[in-house]
Structure formats: C-alpha cells, structure tokens
Amino acid sequence: MKKTFAEKSNLLVFLGTAALISTAVFFLKSCNKKSEKEEAQISKDINSEKIVPNSAKVISAKPDVPDDPNKRYIYLTFDDGPNRGTSNLLKITDKYQIPITAFVVGKHAYDSKTQSKELKELESNKLVEIANHSYTHALNRYSDFYKNPENVIHDFDRARDSLKFKNKYARTPGRNIWRTANINNTDIKTSKLAADELQQAGYVLVGWDLEWKPTNAMKLKGTHKEMTKRVDSIFFNDLEKTSRHLVFLTHDQYLQDDDSVRELDLFISDLQNSNRFEFRKISEYPNINDILK
C-alpha cells in the first residue's frame, strides 16, 4: 500500500528526531556530561515516539501543520443520503480509506428500514463526517421554500434535532450557497435572505466548486477521465472559492448502477494515485470553524 503524504511526513519526522537524539546521546556519553539518570530519560523519550499506523483513517490536518504547497486539497461531499446508492458509496470510501462528508436529509433517515440502517452505518464509519441537508429537502419546491426564511430555519433545526448533528455545517437543498467566515456567495439571489438568517441562526453554509451531475436516467454523466480533467482545470485556473481547496459534490442516488459506481471508483483511484491531492472532511476546510467561535 502506498503511503500517504501524512504518513511520509510522520515517518520523516520520527526518523529525523530519533537520529538527532541518538547523536546527542552519543556525544553526551563521550563527554561524560550527563548522568546515567539523564541518559535513561533520553532513551525513554526516544521510545515514546509513535508513528500513526494508518494515517488514512486520521487524515485530518492538525491546526499547527501548514498546508503542503505542492498538494491540492479535495473535499468529497455527497448529498441526499441515506438514499439508494449510499451502501455503494460506503464501499468505495472503505476501499480507498478516504474521508468524506455526507450531507444527509432528515426525512430520508425515516423513510425505510434500509435507510435507517444506512444512516447508522454512516454514523459509525470514522471516515464519514455527517452534516445537515435540511429535513424535507424543501419538498423539491425550492423557490417556494426560500420565500419563507423562518420555515427554512425550522426545517434545518428539525433535521438537527432529529438526527442529533454534532456540528453546524449545512448545505441548502437545490442551491449553491456559501456562508462561512470569509465566503459569502448566493447563486440565486431570491434565496439570499433565507441564507443570511440561517447564518445568523448559527449555521455554516457550505456550497461546492465542482459537481458531478447526472443524466436524465439519474446516472453519473460523463467519464472519470473527463471529471479528473475538470478538477485539474479548476486548480490550474484558480477557480476554487479558496485557492488550492476544492469542494466536490455528487449525490448518493446517482450511485445505483454498476457503471456509475465504477466511474466514481476510477475517479477517486486516479486522484489518489496521482499523489498530488489529499482528501479532507469539510471540518478541515480553511477557516470553516471561525464563524462558530
């Protein structure tokens, strides 16, 4: 298995630290300037160093570790679960050991026993971060939904309370809206007031930079190669909301057929094997938590 950037970094730090301390111990012994007690402490410090065995499962960047300027960061997000296709999504997630963020719909968790079971699987998977995608998904009547900001807030609150979300990250149904510490963007202006009031209610609204859309048959449209080229184009032209950080979106229900599942699998495989990208959860997006303070 190839090591991720995080693993390589941890290993280099460990080896470098161990080498430096070993050199120091040798020098100090030769000069007789350290007592046996002090030397024992140094040996103890060396042995206490630990390497994370599988950093893919704890790929979260630490706040005090700067981004690698040679890397590009991708946030894989999936909407509308639990839904048809959620089980296929989890298989791919586990196969590649990549972190994702699932924006789930409250009502879908209660629509069937299968969906309730899949919600529990999402919740129990350490690679998955769950966030709010409303309770009703606006009943797919988006224009009417956003005309009443009070009802919009109530809908998100209902999802929050019923599914016991542990964070304030949310995505508006049918709209690409951002409300974070340093991004304020509304794709359809008639939704602006509702978005502003959601933010005032404490929600962090997360849109996307790139969406893999469906065909009329609700299958993923195009190939993984085409989607990979679009990722490269966005980064090359600096079209992300935050430079070097791309939020990717598709939907659980587009992953029902074998072709779509295979295309998503190959897409993720290509990105991972290029060694130019690192996957992260939305909670690690730059400044995403500033608004919560």
pLDDT tens-digit series, residues 121-145: 999 999 999 999 999 999 999 999 9
Tokens, residue 39? 């030397």
* Residues 189-209, mean pLDDT to the nearest whole number: 98
Q: Can you give the pLDDT at residue 200?
A: 97
How far CA 184 is from CA of 167, 204, 226, in Å, comes to 20, 11, 29
Q: Can you give the pLDDT at residue 185?
A: 98
Classify residue 269: in a domain, yes or no.
Answer: yes
Q: Can you give the pLDDT at residue 95?
A: 98
Q: Can you give the pLDDT at residue 269?
A: 98
Q: What is the rounded CA–CA span in Å between residue 290 and residue 195?
A: 18
**Domain shared by 220 and 251, yes or no:** yes
Q: What is the rounded CA–CA span in Å between residue 199 and residue 121?
A: 29
Q: What is the rounded CA–CA span in Å between residue 261 and residue 85?
A: 9
pTM of the model as a whole: 0.78
Classify residue 65: in a domain, yes or no.
Answer: no
Instruction: Name the average pLDDT for the chain.
Output: 84
**Domain shared by 39 and 166, yes or no:** no
Classify residue 67: in a domain, yes or no.
Answer: no
Classify residue 142: in a domain, yes or no.
Answer: yes
Q: What is the rounded CA–CA span in Å between residue 160 and residue 137?
A: 13
CATH code of the domain containing 231 = 3.20.20.370
Sorted by sequence, the CB contacts under 8 Å of residue 131 that are 6+ apart come out as: 101, 102, 103, 104, 165, 167, 169, 170, 171, 206, 282
Neighbours of 11 (CB within 10 A): 14
Neighbours of 246 (CB within 10 A): 22
Q: What is the pLDDT of residues 45-67, one digit of tens each?
A: 333 333 233 333 333 344 446 78
Supply the DSSP string of 210-256, one letter for each residue. EE--B-TTSSB-S-HHHHHHHHHHHHHTT-SSBTTEEEEEEEGGG--
Q: Can you give the pLDDT at residue 66?
A: 77
**Domain shared by 80 and 37, yes or no:** no
**Domain shared by 43 and 183, yes or no:** no
Q: How many domains does the chain have?
A: 2
**Domain shared by 28 and 164, yes or no:** no
pLDDT: which is higher, 249 or 29: 249
Tokens, residue 147? 């005309």
**Domain shared by 161 and 273, yes or no:** yes
Q: Looking at the predicted structure, is the pLDDT value of residue 292 above 80?
A: no
SS3 71: coil
pLDDT: which is higher, 186 or 6: 186
User: What band does 1 get if pLDDT is binned at 50, 70 and 90?
Assistant: very low
Q: Can you give the pLDDT at residue 217?
A: 97
**Domain shared by 49 and 83, yes or no:** no
Q: What is the pLDDT of residues 224-257, one digit of tens each?
A: 999 999 999 999 999 999 999 999 999 999 999 9
User: What band does 101 get if pLDDT is binned at 50, 70 and 90?
Assistant: very high
State which residues form the domain around 223: 72-292
- The secondary element (H helix, E strand) that includes residue 81 is strand 72-81
Query: Using CA atoms in the order 249, 255, 261, 264, what is the torsion angle rounded to 10 degrees?
Result: 0
